[in-house]
Amino acid sequence: MATPSTAPSRQDYFAIFSLPRKLWIEMPGLEQKFLQLHPDNFVNASAEEQADSLKRSSALNDAYRVLRDPVARVEYLLEIEGARKEGEQKQQAPPELLEEVFELNESLDELRDAKARGADLESLKSRLELAETSFQQKLLEVDQQLFAAAKQWDAAIDANAADSDRDGIKVRLNELLNRRSYIRNLVNSVAKELA
């Protein structure tokens, strides 16, 4: 059975659980399938079945970890669909956020400088806390957009949509993942400086 995976060194995680390549997965069903396939269930099986189960164990654990996380699931789907390379992220500020990112970076620099001088940090921290809240809200908005695009993907799969339609959705999913990664890194940078 040939797999259209661009990552030949590992199995298709969706196939391990006998799932279609869709982004909405019922978690109780995934967990139940994971427990059914887990090596602990093969303790009383033949030595050959036990050995096969142990061989599959690592892939099973990796597949379960990825598929139960909605963002990791999108990244993985795009990877096996050939639309994203593992570890590839475009770290560019989204154009509409350039001014806010510039101001945030200035505030972070001011805070680091004030820390080094032992200056009063309260007003700078307040400004950064507001910026952090704003970017956390933007992260939630991106997650909502990612969820909507994932629903479009699933609808396209259900409708057996043309490759060109699916390709457009993959491009959108990639853009949203890159945006999410960028904003998440900003939030993490601010949180680190405020700690």
Which pLDDT tens digit goes with each residue over 15-33?
999 999 999 999 999 999 9
CA-based nearest residue to 169, from 191, 182, 190, 154: 154
CA distance 128 to 55: 49
- pLDDT at position 3 is 40
Conformational region of residue 18, where left means phi above 0, alpha means psi within -120 to 50, and beta covers everything else: left
- Choosing among 3.40.50.300, 1.10.287.110, 1.10.645.10, 3.90.1150.10, the CATH entry for 13-80 is 1.10.287.110
The answer to which of 2-6, 65-69, 125-129, 172-176 has the lowest mean pLDDT is 2-6
Structure tokens at 114: 């004030």
* Domain 95-194 CATH (choose: 1.10.3470, 1.10.287, 3.40.1130, 1.10.1330): 1.10.287
pLDDT score for 5: 39
- Residues belonging to the chain: 195
Buried b (16+ CB within 10 A) or exposed e, 22-37: bbebeeeebeebbeeb
pLDDT for residue 153: 97
pLDDT of residue 90: 63
Ranges for all domains in the chain classified under CATH 1.10.287.110: 13-80
**Look-up of token digits 């200056």:** 119
What digits encode the pLDDT tens for the residues 40-71? 766 676 777 777 767 778 888 999 999 999 99
